[in-house]
Structure 1
Amino acid sequence: MENALENASQTAKATENLPLIISVDDHTVEPATVWQDRLPKKYLDTGPRVVRAPLKEMTFLGGRFKPVMGEPGDDGPIGDWWVYEDLRRPLTRLDTAVGFSRDEIKLEVITYEQMRPGSYDVPSRLADMDVNHVQSAVCFPTFPRFCGQTFTEAADRELGLLCVRAYNDWTVEEWCGPQARGRLIPLALIPLWDAELAAAEVRRNAARGVRAVAFSEIPPHLGLPSVHTDYWDPFLAACDETGTVVAMHIGSSSRMPSTSADAPPAVGSTITFANCCFSMVDWLMSGKFERFPNLKVMYAEGQIGWIPYILERADVVWEENRGWGGVADKVHRPPSELFADHVYGCFFDDAFGLRNLDSIGVGNVLYETDYPHSDSTWPKSREVGEAQMGHLAPDVVERIVRGNAIGLLGLTPDGLWSPR
């Protein structure tokens, strides 16, 4: 009985004062003026801009999102649309769902006035972070998509590069600028179509204190070379040299996992981790971690419960099949060891993963809240964390909730971002 009381007391102590959260995966909905304020005048009519227009039709099946914008005067719900070259992309309720009940969250177009201001306004975001026990947050983009695919797929490469740089300038100077007080942590984009330009952009942003860059979980899905080639080496060398973390978000290959063209979104939503799983095996078997010993990668919103088995299987394959498996000459350590030194899994709701933390590694796990998406635990991320981490020791909770992020992202000891 005495031991039981002692254990219960330790559990309560671990979570009664959950450390302030550093979320490594939140999102920003870019204000309408980001590119119009920064592009040369000759590009204002073709660069990203927002128009208000009706929706003609919209589907999201088999992992594919297909909206069709109507003409002025057409019937249909009105929303704000990003227009860029031939692209027509609406803002939707899935872009910013916090503040609505789960049953109210539908695939529908919305305007800026219909979303929570914290989605795009810095003071409002900080207030929502306060409500949610969040100190600091890394934010992935919305219109550029999770690693800048929007600009990669555009026809005008010169304009695309200007758009990437404009986004990064806005992120560093405004979104993560003085009014954020170090609580918003910048995440840079790169021109994926040119590894040398990508390396230059990594170094440009690293010089002003940016320590994370968005990348695709499976580049070949974007028509780009895989990590098994040497195409990405200039980019990876820049990340290795500057301590820039390669951050890959689910969906950053422009293809969410699904099973068939007519599968409802619930199928893909259940298996969102799958691309992260495939991607991690790619990296572990690529030899890149041995060539670039300081390289770190993280998987945003991929959860962590699947990791132990994949590491077990990868070690078996490396041990028993590397002779004919094509990796003997480039992967010289067990994949699980490479994982421990180079890979971070991110979660917001994964009780199973936390019960198997010893098989993942306390130092390889990061916490997130996914604000303002429909999966977000806002405004109860603290309660969710306390419920799921109640069995862990206080020092372990501290590392997961903030300590690991501080070390990985080069934050101050207080958990804030400081520009150079």
Structure 2
Amino acid sequence: MTAESSAESPAGTEMPRIISVDDHVVEPPELWSSRLPAKYRDVGPRIEYLPQGEVVLDGGTYRERPGTEGRNVAWWLYEDHTYSIKRLIAAAGYPYDEVSVEGITYDEMRPGCWQPKARVADMEMNHTDASLCFPNYPRFCGQLFNERQDKELSLLCVKAYNDWMVEEWCGDSGGRLIPLCLVPLWDADLAAAEIRRNAERGVRAVAFSELPTWLGLPSIHSGYWDPFFAACAETGTVVCMHIGSGTRTVSPADDAPDAVTASLIFCNSAASLVDFLYSGVLHRYPDLKLMYAEAQIGWIPYALERADDVWVTHAGWSGAKNNIPEPPSFYYYRQVYGCFFKDSVGMDLLDRVGIDNITFETDYPHTDGTWPNTKEVAARLFGHLDAESVYKIARGNAIKLLGLDFD
């Protein structure tokens, strides 16, 4: 244990080193071009340096094209899709007022954003033992590949990402970088096969959409996803759903500022949780585990209270008991984990959120993230609790959930 790791919270409880279950990676330039068959290298994802164009955020998706003049920035090109790498997603080390949606180059971001050894070094600066990283360019559950036309290429891209994640990003990190795989969302049987392929090499987490119908995919009520859920349950693979993985965002008006959707984005996760609780999926697959990333946790107690009340008082007409013999909260406490890093309300309601149902995160390198001050943030949020509770939140629950080789 380092001198830093033995630092104490304001209440005197030792703050364990953090295991973060929600960070992000900026994919390196040659991730796909170095792995795809030669015939796909000119149409698959690749980096080119081109002038910055106009950037428009449309309902959670960037609509943009390279410009014709000005300084060059890094652009991902893939079939008909173009996307510039932005300061917003590589914000670590930059003041808030310098973080924007303008394009940057790889030289203009911290190496820890995209280089594994540099990431581990940044984790050392941040009292962090291990990190689970969601993708950036493919979006939070790989929905980019679901949207493209050539599904043979899309499947190759998913597998290439997973190979890179296991072999290079996490490869020689000694377990400090935790693999998170993608699946082909357009085919539940292929998704199940990819879960099993990666589970054989130690992957215990998969990125999935919190609201697949928002991606034009079948609902979790339909039975379509059962092969995928069965594979996850059988292999102990946690279904990890990041805010925004439904692509759409909640907004009361088309002309509302982006601050409105940024404040309401937890509503996506709330809708997803209630959907799962009533779907019967958790009843049919009692070994299946769900984790909601970056959604915070303060909203969970009321969502559970309302769902349980509907299960009783509206059972006659709502179908509340059609798929679940137990109250919805039963399945939450048994199988669902939340994740937070900025939520004092959640801490006030901890007994109802559930001390065994929460994990912590740093969100590196996003602008919302707490790097390099995560230890201090953690101490302010939950350092006043007893040592066992502090341990569970900081790392213990994550170790149990993901089957990590940490104490």
TM-score, normalised to structure 1, is 0.93
Once the two structures are superposed, what CA deviation does each residue of 1:192-247 show, in whole Å capped at 9, x if it has no partner? 00000000000000111100000001001100011111000000000011110000
Match of 1:295 among 282, 288, 292: 288
**Equivalent AA in structure 2 for residue 139 of structure 1:** C
Instruction: Note if 1:270 corresponds to 2:249.
Output: no
CA contact (8 A) 1:237 1:292 kept: yes
Once the two structures are superposed, what CA deviation does each residue of 1:124-180 show, in whole Å capped at 9, x if it has no partner? 1011101110000000001111000110001000000000000000000000001x1
Match of 1:279 among 254, 272, 275: 272
CA–CA separation in structure 2 for the residues paired with 1:246 and 1:63: 22
- How far apart are 1:24 and its partner, in Å? 0.1
Counterpart in 1 of 2:5? Answer: none
Match of 1:360 among 334, 348, 353: 353
CA contact (8 A) 2:280 2:323 kept: yes
Which segments of 5 or more consecutive residues in structure 1 lack a partner in the other structure? 1-8, 415-420
Counterpart in 2 of 1:153? Answer: 147
- How far apart are 1:60 and its partner, in Å? 2.3
- How far apart are 1:64 and its partner, in Å? 4.2
Match of 1:249 among 242, 251, 259: 242
CA–CA separation in structure 1 for the residues paired with 2:52 and 2:28: 21
Counterpart in 2 of 1:238? Answer: 231
CA–CA separation in structure 2 for the residues paired with 1:40 and 1:119: 27
Relative to structure 2, which stretch is displaced further, 148-157 or 383-392? 383-392
Instruction: Note if 1:28 corresponds to 2:25.
Output: yes
Relative to structure 2, which stretch is displaced further, 319-328 or 211-220? 319-328
Match of 1:197 among 190, 213, 228: 190
CA–CA separation in structure 2 for the residues paired with 1:129 and 1:259: 38
CA contact (8 A) 2:59 2:248 kept: no
Counterpart in 1 of 2:56? Answer: 59
Once the two structures are superposed, what CA deviation does each residue of 1:248-278 show, in whole Å capped at 9, x if it has no partner? 0011011133222222221111112110000
Counterpart in 2 of 1:91? Answer: 85
Across the aligned residues of Structure 1 and Structure 2, the Cα RMSD in angstroms comes to 1.3
**Equivalent AA in structure 2 for residue 188 of structure 1:** C
CA–CA separation in structure 2 for the residues paired with 1:322 and 1:344: 26
Counterpart in 2 of 1:12? Answer: 11
- Residues 279/42 of structure 1: CA separation in 2 closer, same or farther (3 Å cut): same
Counterpart in 2 of 1:328? Answer: 321
CA–CA separation in structure 2 for the residues paired with 1:237 and 1:64: 31
Relative to structure 2, which stretch is displaced further, 363-372 or 56-65? 56-65
Relative to structure 2, which stretch is displaced further, 183-192 or 391-400? 391-400
Counterpart in 2 of 1:105? Answer: 99
CA–CA separation in structure 1 for the residues paired with 2:9 and 2:31: 49
Once the two structures are superposed, what CA deviation does each residue of 1:95-151 show, in whole Å capped at 9, x if it has no partner? 110100111111211111111110001111011101110000000001111000110
**Equivalent AA in structure 2 for residue 182 of structure 1:** G
**Equivalent AA in structure 2 for residue 365 of structure 1:** I
CA–CA separation in structure 2 for the residues paired with 1:385 and 1:156: 45
Structure 2 counterpart SS, 1:123: helix
Counterpart in 2 of 1:3? Answer: none
TM-score, normalised to structure 2, is 0.96
The within-5 A match list for 1:64-143 is 64-70=61-67, 74-143=68-137
Match of 1:177 among 143, 167, 171: 171
Once the two structures are superposed, what CA deviation does each residue of 1:323-348 show, in whole Å capped at 9, x if it has no partner? 31123221110111110011111001
- How far apart are 1:76 and its partner, in Å? 3.5
Counterpart in 1 of 2:222? Answer: 229
Instruction: Note if 1:46 corresponds to 2:46.
Output: no
**Equivalent AA in structure 1 for residue 104 of structure 2:** I
- Residues 241/189 of structure 1: CA separation in 2 closer, same or farther (3 Å cut): same
CA–CA separation in structure 2 for the residues paired with 1:342 and 1:318: 18
Counterpart in 2 of 1:4? Answer: none
CA contact (8 A) 2:310 2:320 kept: no
CA contact (8 A) 2:44 2:79 kept: yes
Which runs of structure 1 show a deviation greater than 6 angstroms over 4 or more consecutive aligned residues?
A: none
- How far apart are 1:62 and its partner, in Å? 4.8
